[in-house]
Amino acid sequence: MVFVFVFILSVNPTFSTTTVSTEIFYPFGSAAGDKSNPVDDDGSSSVIHLLSPFLFFGRTYQQIYVNNNGHLTFNKPSSLYTPYSFPANRSQDIIAGLWTNLNNRMGGVISYQQYTNGSVLTRASQDINTHFPNLTFNASWVFVATWGKVETSFQVVLISDVNFSFILINYGDIAVTEHQVQAGYDTVNSTDYFVIPGSNNGSFISNLRNSSNVNDTGRWAFRVDSGQHNISKGKRFLDIQWCEKVLAPFLISYFFACLSHFNVSDHQTNLNISKDNTSEHNMQFLNEGFYY
């Protein structure tokens, strides 16, 4: 019970005045040598041929598209500005940093770059070894896609050593929007998917910069190489959805009160939540779960 109180106290204003910095952001923009997407509402990059194959839940991709509306696709570009909800059980793998109606004609830069050497690889290796201990991971390829002040600022970073692959999503200032939103990832037939809690309501998405599943404010990190999960994860997702309904309109405190009814463990496999009727609150949640 003591931990429960610590947790509630941690949601006080003092805690959340921590300056949100872009320290979690990897280098981006023209200064970093990025290529920029065309200025085009609902546009996309042209096909980007990957310098190293990227393994995504059992499928190996050699190419990717950076779509202006905040998401990445592999087989073809996407102009969709209204996200579908995950799990969608569609025939597409998709990574949604923040899939919503974004228009770079109104300002901002959408840019990307891939790295196969240098300090960005070192940094990515350190980050993955911090977020996923004991893998002794050594990155050989990093892909950074950044939406810089396209109303909103965030980054999707793909990291690979060929056998293992990871995604980092870094959130900066995220503008409230009336458009539909979705952040996370979904796969072919939704055998694997993840919705970042609180990311599917535009009224609340500014909170993305304050949340994390790896104790690094504003960052969500996922291992995405193999299909370790299957559709049974849907049950766990529904539990989170239920929390999201309960939490409104006091997002943070209600959300945690709700989530504390579940066990959250194993951040190496992203989120492993099981309903726990026997203990109302548990510590695993604090140790390995969400951080605000």
Part in contact with ligand NAG (CB under 6 A); list of ranges 27-35, 73-81, 103-111, 158-166: 158-166
> Which of 37, 104, 140, 199 is the binder for ligand NAG (CB under 6 A)?
140
Binding residues for ligand NAG restricted to 234-263, rule: CB under 6 A: 248-249, 252, 263
Which of 207, 178, 180, 168 is closest to 69 using CA atoms? Answer: 180
- Sketch the per residue contact string, 42 through 81, with ligand NAG: x for CB under 6 A, - otherwise: ----------------------------------------
Give the span between the Cα atoms of 97 and 95, in whole angstroms. Answer: 6
Q: Cβ(95)–Cβ(72) under 8 Å?
A: yes
Question: What phi and psi, each to the nearest 5 degrees, are found at residue 169?
Answer: -120, 120
Cβ-based nearer residue to ligand NAG, 26 or 115: 115
Cα 96 from Cα 182, distance rounded (Å): 7
Neighbours of 76 (CB within 10 A): 11
Residue from 160, 210, 213, 260 touching ligand NAG (CB under 6 A): that is 210
Per-residue tokens: 85? 């909800």
**Closer CB to ligand NAG, 39 or 286, in the complex:** 286
Who contacts 277 (Cβ-Cβ below 8 Å, separation ≥6)? Answer: none
Residues at the site binding ligand NAG, with contacts judged by CB under 6 A:
16-18, 20, 89, 115-117, 133-134, 138, 140, 161-163, 188-189, 201, 203, 207, 210, 215, 228-232, 248-249, 252, 263, 265-266, 269, 272, 274, 276, 279, 282-284, 287
